[in-house]
């Protein structure tokens, strides 16, 4: 397992394909990191599907409203259209590039619309730089992310089994 230097700023994500370890960037995107940790600690991401997965681009998940298997509002046809009951976040764009393993927040056309959805880059995506809030980097398990079923939408999607802050594990 990857060496975890800061358990309070590390995410342990178990997916239907295996384990992924994500280092958080609280200095880069403090509001987004706080939201990811808050939702993880609430168990909000547990059971959430990867609803949009594009080969050679990214895997998107995090719709805790419509994308959570077993949730009250689970609706595979609407997965990707929802968020959490928390307010949207103010953009925290940075010069940190979107490279393989980058974790960044999904949003609508409005820069200040990120809420709970996020994506993990399969490959470098420089056109996203300075337009999406980067909050973390996969430090172990990109081979797992590579195995997530592709599609827009994904038929019988993979999901997050559990997502925890390492300090709580």
Q: pLDDT value at position 3? A: 84
Residue 1 has pLDDT above 70, yes or no: no
- Looking only at the bridges linking them, the beta strands covering 118-121 and 102-105 are antiparallel
Q: What is the mean pLDDT of residues 5-21?
A: 98
Tokens of 71: 């949730």
Contact between 98 and 124 under an 8 Å Cβ cutoff? The reply is: yes
Residue 25 has pLDDT above 70, yes or no: yes
Domains of the chain by start residue, with CATH = 8-163 (2.40.100.10)
Predicted confidence (pLDDT) per residue in 119-160, tens digit: 999 999 999 999 999 999 999 999 999 999 999 989 999 999
b/e burial code for range 120-145 (CB count within 10 A of at least 16 → b): bbbeebeebbeebbbbbbbbbbbebb
Distance, CA of 116 to CA of 160 (rounded, Å): 13
């Amino acid at each position: 397992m990857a060496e975890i230097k800061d358990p309070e700023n590390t995410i342990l994500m178990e997916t239907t394909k295996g384990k992924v370890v994500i280092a958080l960037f609280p200095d880069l995107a403090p509001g987004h990191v706080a939201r990811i940790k808050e939702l993880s600690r609430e168990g909000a991401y547990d059971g959430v599907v990867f609803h949009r997965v594009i080969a050679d681009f990214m895997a998107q998940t995090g719709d805790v409203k419509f994308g959570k298997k077993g949730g009250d509002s689970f609706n595979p046809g609407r997965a990707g259209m929802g968020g959490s009951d928390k307010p949207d976040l103010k953009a925290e764009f940075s010069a940190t590039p979107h490279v393989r393993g980058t974790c960044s927040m999904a949003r609508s056309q409005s820069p200040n619309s990120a809420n709970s959805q996020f994506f993990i880059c399969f490959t470098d995506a420089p056109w996203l730089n300075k337009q999406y809030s980067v909050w973390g980097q996969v430090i172990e398990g990109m081979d797992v992310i590579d195995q997530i079923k592709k599609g827009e939408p994904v038929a019988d999607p993979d999901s997050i089994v559990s997502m925890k802050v390492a300090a709580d594990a």
